[in-house]
């Protein structure tokens, strides 16, 4: 266990001394935020005028807004003028091969079963030096192109498919939505764009794996996914391997448009730097994720949140079309001094709309873990149904678990169910496992994975296996 802890420590606290932060040759513009900077960002990215205008409007609106303080989070003051909002990464590989990388880091990747290409990317190895990623990518791109699927960075999309982007950008999350959505709209650096044409079923899971070159845009990422009528796509975001970022503030926006009869599955594993054991450092993660579902459409959010010092995130579904379905499956783990306030909003507008919420919070150490969810059934949502289940698991007696369900029903035919449980990993459970020869670490891993199984089962297979290991690793040292 001590050795494991050491590896974990190295990964979570002191990897900078191993030069984990690559000497990326960046082009950084001055710190601070004003209209000039916003224009400069847009100009550097060679954006069309309407996009510059979009950013400026967002910026002006942002200035009128205040940082949201309603969450059950203790958020330190953030000096938005002390941040540099544009850094075009021109990554220069730090290492020529994996042999040069810290072996302990590699052993953790091994433990997590991170694919070799991702290991190299994460460790800052020149990918091309070891494998021909370009050709792999090209093969995928060809397969996708044959089906008419567009999957590229947001910058490329603005250049190559400006009309599509213009039609949908901000249509689900307008810049007026909230403080962080406005900030993101003003300064977003890059992100992903995905379009699935009518009736097309995307033949593969779309994931960061395919866009290795788009890594490093995490700070103000903007994702837009459009599933046209009858289309299907499963999209995976993030990575189970520990992701490091110098940027303390993250404010991403994900917008999903699910047109008639279409289906989108969006899976996230979030493992940003959570801070050290004393609660120093760590990423503040303020994310706005929302999908718009038209008639008969289906949107499913699955998230495994283990990282970040502060998580503020409510992937939501607007069930606008009749008979559309929204789902939210979440496992949120907090350990040490992490804080999470996460949940969902299911807005039932159409008739016969259905939603399902399964939230599993796990708190350890001195962390605070809150579920916050809104189920709203509008007057017209005849026959709407919701089922919510919010479970909390406590490890130790210094952490907190909170549940804030909001239910607003304006249609008498709606059926809304809410169930909540709170449990603790008991001494007797641990003793039972120990007595069968399981170490306490293994026992906690097993119990936690059993607890979270319903959600993990919703993840794509390869993601699920990694997520299971990640849960155990995130909680190492939390008992005994």
- Residue pair 407/375 in contact by the 8 Å Cβ criterion: yes
Could you report how far apart the first and last alpha carbons of the chain are, in Å?
11
Burial class (CB in 10 A: 0-12, 13-18, 19+), 16: exposed
In angstroms, give the least distance from the CB of 424 to another protein: 13
Under the criterion CB under 8 A, does residue 434 sit at the interface with another protein? yes
Under the criterion CB under 8 A, does residue 397 sit at the interface with another protein? no
The alpha carbon of 424 is separated from its chain's Cα centroid by a whole number of angstroms, namely 27
Locus of tokens 């003793």: 431
Tell me the backbone φ, ψ of residue 28, rounded to 5 degrees.
Answer: -110, 135
Under the criterion CB under 8 A, does residue 472 sit at the interface with another protein? no
In angstroms, give the least distance from the CB of 404 to another protein: 24
Q: How far apart (Å, rounded) are the C-alpha atoms in residues 11 and 102?
A: 11
Of 412 and 437, which CB lies nearer to another protein in the complex structure?
437
Q: How far apart (Å, rounded) are the C-alpha atoms in residues 444 and 435?
A: 14
Under the criterion CB under 8 A, does residue 88 sit at the interface with another protein? no
Under the criterion CB under 8 A, does residue 453 sit at the interface with another protein? yes
Under the criterion CB under 8 A, does residue 436 sit at the interface with another protein? yes
How many residues at the interface with another protein, by CB under 8 A? 23
Under the criterion CB under 8 A, does residue 450 sit at the interface with another protein? yes
Under the criterion CB under 8 A, does residue 5 sit at the interface with another protein? no
Distances in whole angstroms, Cα of residue 107 to Cα of each of 13, 101, 113? 16, 11, 9
CB atoms within 10 A of CB 73: 18
In angstroms, give the least distance from the CB of 57 to another protein: 48
Candidates 17, 70, 428, 461; binder of another protein (CB under 8 A) is 428
Under the criterion CB under 8 A, does residue 74 sit at the interface with another protein? no
Helix axes 427-435, 440-456, angle to 10 degrees: 110
What DSSP line would sit under 242-308, residue for residue? PB--S-SEE--EEEEEE-TT-EEEEEEEE-B----TT--S--EEEEEEEEEE-TT-EEEEEEEE---
Under the criterion CB under 8 A, does residue 422 sit at the interface with another protein? no
In angstroms, give the least distance from the CB of 5 to another protein: 17
Under the criterion CB under 8 A, does residue 329 sit at the interface with another protein? no
Q: How far apart (Å, rounded) are the C-alpha atoms in residues 145 and 142?
A: 5
In angstroms, give the least distance from the CB of 454 to another protein: 8
Of 46 and 426, which CB lies nearer to another protein in the complex structure?
426
Of 103 and 437, which CB lies nearer to another protein in the complex structure?
437
Helix (H) or strand (E) holding 431, with range, is: helix 427-435
Candidates 130, 438, 465, 479; binder of another protein (CB under 8 A) is 438
Of 126 and 479, which CB lies nearer to another protein in the complex structure?
479
Dihedral sign from CA coordinates of 35, 36, 37, 39: positive
In angstroms, give the least distance from the CB of 304 to another protein: 15
Candidates 446, 462, 469, 476; binder of another protein (CB under 8 A) is 446
Q: Looking at 51-59, 100-108, 370-378, 433-441, which segment touches another protein (CB under 8 A)?
A: 433-441
In angstroms, give the least distance from the CB of 429 to another protein: 5
Candidates 429, 462, 472, 479; binder of another protein (CB under 8 A) is 429
- Residue pair 308/278 in contact by the 8 Å Cβ criterion: no
Tokens of 343: 């949940």
Under the criterion CB under 8 A, does residue 465 sit at the interface with another protein? no
Under the criterion CB under 8 A, does residue 164 sit at the interface with another protein? no
Burial class (CB in 10 A: 0-12, 13-18, 19+), 197: middle
Helices (H), 297-365: none
Candidates 117, 449, 462, 476; binder of another protein (CB under 8 A) is 449
Q: Looking at 8-16, 272-280, 305-313, 447-455, which segment touches another protein (CB under 8 A)?
A: 447-455
Q: Looking at 142-150, 271-279, 302-310, 443-451, which segment touches another protein (CB under 8 A)?
A: 443-451
Contacts to another protein by CB under 8 A: 426-429, 431-440, 442, 446-447, 449-454
């Amino acid at each position: 266990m001590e050795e494991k802890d050491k590896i974990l420590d190295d990964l979570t606290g002191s990897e900078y001394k191993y030069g984990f932060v690559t000497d990326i040759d960046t082009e950084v513009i001055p710190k601070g935020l004003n209209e000039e900077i916003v224009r400069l960002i847009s100009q550097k990215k060679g954006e069309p005028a309407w996009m510059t205008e979009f950013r400026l409007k967002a910026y002006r609106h942002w200035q009128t807004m205040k940082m949201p303080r309603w969450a059950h989070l203790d958020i330190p003051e953030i000096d938005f003028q002390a941040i540099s909002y544009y850094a075009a990464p021109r990554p220069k590989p730090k290492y020529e091969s994996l042999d040069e990388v810290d072996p302990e880091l590699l052993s953790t990747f091994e433990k997590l079963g991170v694919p070799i290409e991702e290991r190299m990317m994460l460790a800052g190895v020149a990918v091309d030096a070891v494998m021909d990623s370009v050709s792999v990518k090209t093969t995928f791109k060809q397969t996708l192109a044959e089906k008419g699927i567009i999957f590229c960075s947001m910058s490329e999309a603005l250049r190559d498919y400006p009309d599509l982007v213009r039609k949908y950008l901000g249509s689900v999350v307008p810049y007026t939505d909230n403080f962080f959505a406005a900030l993101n709209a003003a300064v977003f650096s890059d992100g992903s764009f995905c379009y699935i044409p009518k009736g097309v079923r995307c033949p593969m899971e779309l994931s960061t794996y395919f866009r290795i070159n788009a890594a490093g845009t995490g700070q103000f990422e903007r994702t837009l996914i459009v599933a046209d009528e009858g289309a299907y796509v499963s999209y995976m975001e993030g990575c189970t391997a520990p992701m490091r970022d110098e940027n303390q503030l993250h404010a991403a926006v994900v917008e999903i448009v699910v047109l008639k009869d279409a289906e989108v599955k969006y899976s996230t594993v979030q493992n940003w730097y959570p801070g050290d054991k004393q609660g120093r450092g760590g990423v503040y993660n303020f994310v706005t994720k929302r999908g718009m579902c038209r008639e008969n459409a289906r949107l499913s959010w699955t998230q495994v949140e283990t990282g970040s010092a502060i998580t503020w995130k409510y992937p939501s579904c607007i069930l606008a079309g009749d008979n559309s379905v929204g789902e939210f499956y979440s496992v949120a783990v907090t350990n040490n001094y992490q804080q999470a306030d996460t949940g969902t909003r299911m807005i039932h507008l159409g008739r016969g709309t259905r939603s399902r919420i399964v939230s599993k919070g796990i708190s350890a150490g001195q962390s605070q873990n809150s579920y916050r969810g809104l189920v709203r059934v509008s007057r017209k949502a005849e026959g709407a149904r919701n089922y919510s289940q919010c479970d909390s698991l406590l490890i130790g007696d210094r952490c907190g678990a909170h549940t804030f369900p909001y239910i607003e029903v304006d249609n008498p035919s709606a059926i809304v169910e809410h169930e909540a449980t709170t449990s603790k990993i008991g001494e007797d459970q641990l003793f039972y496992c120990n007595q069968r020869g399981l170490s306490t670490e293994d026992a906690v891993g097993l119990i936690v994975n059993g607890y979270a199984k319903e959600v993990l089962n919703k993840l794509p297979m390869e993601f699920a296996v990694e997520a299971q290991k990640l849960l155990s690793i995130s909680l190492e040292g939390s008992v005994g």
